[in-house]
Structure 1
Amino acid sequence: MKAFPAVMLSVLPFCFSPSLIANELSTALKQSNVSAQFRYRLEYVEQDNALDDAIASTLRSRLSVNTGKAYGFSALLQVDNVSLLGNDNYNSSVNAKTHYSVVADPKGTDINQALLRYQNDNGTTLSAGRQLVNHLNQRFLGGVGWRQNEQTLDGYRLQQQFSDSVSAELGHYHNVNRVFGPKGAAADQHGSFNTALLQWQPNTAHQLAGFAYDFDFDNWAVRSSRTYGVDYQGKLASGPKLSWQLALAKQDDAHNAPLSFSHHYHRFSLSWALDNLTLQAGQERLAGDGQSAFQTPLATLHAFSGFADMFLNTPDNGLRDNWLEAKTKLNDVALSLAYHRFDSDLGSAKYGDEWSASAGYNLNKQLSALLKLAHYQADTLAVDTTKVWLMLSYQL
C-alpha cells in the first residue's frame, strides 16, 4: 500500500502531459460552434383608455458561442442586442413614454447567458453563471422567451440523470435578469432563489414531476413565498388520442413577505387529437382571498391566461381561467384559435373574455414567420385591449 502514492505520482504526469492536454483542447475547439439568430417583431397595442396606441418595431440580434468539452468542462456565452427599427411610439418601461401603452421590449445590449458547465459519464451536470432555466411547462419558472429580452438567472444548478426515467435538479440563484432590462429599476431582482425538480417517466404514456420553489426577494417582498406541487401528464396508450395534464400546488408566505397567506393552485386540461385537428379544454385556478393571491413571478407568463397578458399579476380575488382551444395545419401553416373566460376565484366576479389566434409558417429551415392576435373584452377588470404581432425569425 505504501507504494500506491508513488505509483500515482508517476502516472499523473502522463495523464496530464502537455500533448494530452493539447489534444483535449484541440478536440474541444473542433466541437465548438458559433451561431447567430435574428428576430424582428412588430407589436401593436390598442386599449380603451386615455393611453395612446403603441407600435413597437424591434429587432433582437443574438450571438451564441458554445465550446466543446475538455475534461468534461464546456462554456456558453450568449449576447443579445435589442434595437429599434423605425419609431419608438410605445412605453418600454424605461423610455419614459408613459402616455403610450406598454410593450416591454426595451432597447439595449446585454449578456443573456454566460456559464461554465461540467458534465461526467455518471449523468451529472453542474452549471455556474448566468443561465436560462425552463421547468416543465414554465408555469412556475421559465425564460419568458416571448419577450425580446429573455429572463435568465445568475447562480448554480445541479442536474442528475439517475436513469432513463428518473432525473433531479437543484438550483440556487442570487439574481434574476428580467425582461425589463438591461437598464432600469426593474431590470434585476436580487435575493435568494432555491429551486428543486424531480421527474419520473415510468413509460412513454405517463410523466410525473414534483417541484419546490423558495423565493426570497430583497426588494420585492410581496412576492417572497414557498411553493410546492406536483405535475402529471398522461395519454391513452391506445384508442382515441386523448392526453391530459393535472397540476396541483400550494403557496405560503415566506421570509420578508408583508402578509400571511396560504393559497392553492390547480390546472387541468384534456386534449383530443384528430386527423388534422387538436381540441383542448381546461381550467386553471390561482386562489385569492381578497388581500393576496397565488403568484408566479418567475414564470413564462405570456404562455398562460391568454396572449393579451392581462393577468401577469394575479388579482387579489384570485383567477379562474376556463378555456377552449383548437389547433390545425393548413398547407403547412400552423393555425390556432382559443377562447378564455376569466372569473374571480373569490366571489363571482366576471373579469372578462379573450379571443386569441395565431398563424405560423416555416419558409425554410432558417426563416419562419408568425402572426398573432388577441382581443380582451373587459367586464370588471382592466379595459378592452387588442394586440397584434408580426414576427420574423432567422437562424444562421
Structure 2
Amino acid sequence: MTTAVSALPFAITVALSATILPTPVTASISDELNTAVKQSSVSAHFRYRLEYVDQDNALDDAIASTLRSRLNIDTGKAYGFSALLQLDNVSQLGGDNYNSTVNGNTNYSVVADPKGTDINQALLRYQSDNGTVLSAGRQLVNQLNQRFLGGVGWRQNEQTLDGYRLQQSFKQGLSAEVGHYYNVNRVFGPEGAAADQRGSFNTALLQWQLSPAQQLAAFGYDFEFDSWAARSSRTLGIDYQGKLTSGPKLSWHLALAKQDDAHNAPLNVSHHYHRLSVSWALERVTLQAGQERLAGDGQSAFQTPLATLHAFSGFADIFLNTPDNGLRDNWLQASGKLNNVALAVTYHRFDSDAGNSKYGSEWNASAGYAVSKQLSALLKLAHYSADTLAADTTKVWLMLSYQL
C-alpha cells in the first residue's frame, strides 16, 4: 500500500471532523470546564486470576498467579470534547512456573499473561449532538461478537489499537463506523517481540436495526501487516441476528464472510466463512446448537488475527491459528442459573474443512457468581481430547474481580 492510500482514511477523518466542529456557544469557557470537571470520573478495577495448564506433551504443567490492576480516568465533556486514560499493571504473585511468552520459561505450557505496566487506552474524542463520535489515540475496539475484531478481554493485557475512528448514528436504527489504525497492542505486551504489530488496518461497519427483534450488519476489514505478511488480507461479510417475538423463545445468528489475500501476502488465497447458531430459551435453561466453518485448502485457511479468539473454538485455545486444512466447529451448549450462580456447559467437535481429519473434541464449563455489586467470582474448566491435532489439554481458571 502506498503512503497516499495509507493516509486516505486519516484525511477523510480530518475532513469529516471539520464539518462537525462546534459552533460558538454562549456559555463561558470557565462554565464549560467546570461542568467537564464535575462530570469526570476516576475508578479502579482489580482482577486476580489463577490459571493451570496440563498438556499431554513434553512441556511441564503451568500455573500462573497474576493480578491486573487498572486505573481509569474519564473526563467530562467541554464543547463536545473529552478524554480517556486507562493504565494497567499486571503483576505476578508467587512463582513463574509458566511460559508468559516473554519470561523465557519455554519448558512450561503457555499462559499468555506477561507482567508489566502499560497504557491500555489513551484517547481524545469529540461527540456532537447529531450522533457523531470522533476518537483519536489508543483505544479498545469491539465489533459485533468480536469474531473479526475485539479486545481479547479474557487475557490480563487487553488488545487495543492506535489510530482514528469515526462513528455515526442515523435515524431508523442505522449506524456506521470507519477506522484507520497503524499499530496493534497485542496481549503479549507491553514488552517482547510480539507486543506490537504495525501496519495499516482499515475497518468499516454498517449496522441496521431492522426491528426490535432483528439486526443486520455488513463489515469490511483491510489488514496490511508490516512484519506478519501471512495475515495480510481483505475480508467482507454480513451478520444477521433475529428472534421470534411470540411462541417459543427462539433466536438465531448467521454470519457469512469471504477473505482474500491483499497487499504483501505471500500466497494467493480465497476462503469462505460461516457461523450459524440457534438458541432456545426454556424456563430455567437455554439450549444452543451451532456450527462455525473457517475454510482451508491444505496450504492456507481463513484467519482472524485480531479477533477475541478465546471466545471461539473452545476455551483451551487450541485453534488460535486456523489449521491449513481449515476448521469445522460443531457445538452444543446448555446455560442457565442455579441459586444466582450462572452456569454453562459446552461440547465442541472439531474437524477439518478440507480432507476428512477429526482434530478432536472439547468440553467447556463455567460457573460465575456475583458476591456483591463490586466483587464477582468465576470458575472455568476446559478439556480438549486430541485425535489428530495438538495434544490432550486441560485448563482450569479461578478469577476474582473487584471494582472500586
Normalising to structure 1: TM-score of the pair? 0.96
* Residues 156-175 of structure 1: pairs in structure 2 closer than 5 A: 156-175=164-183
Among 263, 270, 274, which residue is 1:266 paired with?
A: 274
Partner in structure 1 of residue 65 of structure 2 = 57
Partner AA of 1:168 in structure 2: A
C-alpha distance in 2, partners of 1:111/1:301?
Answer: 22
**Is the partner of 2:85 in helix, strand or coil?**
strand
Structure 1 position 108 matched with structure 2 position 113: no
Partner in structure 2 of residue 134 of structure 1 = 142
Deviations 1:140-175 (A, max 9, x none): 000000000000000000000012510000000000
**Is the partner of 1:116 in helix, strand or coil?**
strand
Among 172, 184, 188, which residue is 1:180 paired with?
A: 188
Partner in structure 1 of residue 6 of structure 2 = none
C-alpha distance in 1, partners of 2:337/2:204?
Answer: 37
Among 192, 195, 214, which residue is 2:222 paired with?
A: 214
C-alpha distance in 2, partners of 1:315/1:194?
Answer: 25
Structure 1 position 243 matched with structure 2 position 251: yes
Among 79, 90, 96, which residue is 2:87 paired with?
A: 79
Deviations 1:20-70 (A, max 9, x none): 001100000000000000000000000000100000000000000000000
Deviations 1:287-325 (A, max 9, x none): 000000000000000000000000000000000000000
Among 318, 332, 340, which residue is 1:310 paired with?
A: 318
C-alpha distance in 2, partners of 1:201/1:119?
Answer: 22
Among 121, 124, 130, which residue is 2:132 paired with?
A: 124
C-alpha distance in 2, partners of 1:53/1:121?
Answer: 55
Partner AA of 2:322 in structure 1: T
Partner in structure 2 of residue 37 of structure 1 = 45
1:202 deviation in Å?
Answer: 1.6
C-alpha distance in 2, partners of 1:119/1:359?
Answer: 39
Partner AA of 2:354 in structure 1: L
C-alpha distance in 1, partners of 2:268/2:388?
Answer: 27
Structure 1 segments of 4+ aligned residues over 2 angstroms from their partners: none
Structure 1 position 201 matched with structure 2 position 188: no
Partner in structure 2 of residue 154 of structure 1 = 162
Structure 1 position 257 matched with structure 2 position 265: yes
Among 348, 361, 364, which residue is 2:369 paired with?
A: 361
Partner AA of 1:228 in structure 2: L
Structure 1 position 192 matched with structure 2 position 200: yes
Partner AA of 1:54 in structure 2: A
Structure 1 position 294 matched with structure 2 position 302: yes
C-alpha distance in 2, partners of 1:155/1:273?
Answer: 40
Q: How many pairs align? A: 382
Normalising to structure 2: TM-score of the pair? 0.94
Give the % identical residues. 81
Among 375, 380, 394, which residue is 2:383 paired with?
A: 375
Partner AA of 1:337 in structure 2: V
1:213 deviation in Å?
Answer: 0.1
Deviations 1:218-249 (A, max 9, x none): 00000000000000000001000000000000
Partner in structure 2 of residue 387 of structure 1 = 395
C-alpha distance in 1, partners of 2:393/2:299?
Answer: 26
C-alpha distance in 1, partners of 2:25/2:222?
Answer: 42
Partner in structure 2 of residue 4 of structure 1 = none
Deviations 1:360-381 (A, max 9, x none): 0000000000000000000000
C-alpha distance in 2, partners of 1:394/1:88?
Answer: 24
C-alpha distance in 2, partners of 1:203/1:388?
Answer: 41
Q: Can you give the 5+ residue segments of structure 1 that lack an aligned partner in the other structure?
A: 1-14
Partner AA of 2:153 in structure 1: G
C-alpha distance in 2, partners of 1:229/1:47?
Answer: 36
Deviations 1:247-274 (A, max 9, x none): 0000000000000000000000000000
Structure 1 position 91 matched with structure 2 position 87: no
Partner AA of 2:290 in structure 1: G
C-alpha distance in 1, partners of 2:208/2:80?
Answer: 26
C-alpha distance in 2, partners of 1:366/1:192?
Answer: 39
Structure 1 position 47 matched with structure 2 position 47: no
**Is the partner of 1:86 in helix, strand or coil?**
coil
When Rg is computed on C-alpha atoms for both structures, the one with the higher figure is 1
Partner AA of 1:166 in structure 2: L
**Is the partner of 1:140 in helix, strand or coil?**
coil
C-alpha distance in 2, partners of 1:369/1:168?
Answer: 36
C-alpha distance in 2, partners of 1:253/1:100?
Answer: 35
C-alpha distance in 1, partners of 2:104/2:81?
Answer: 44
C-alpha distance in 1, partners of 2:172/2:123?
Answer: 26
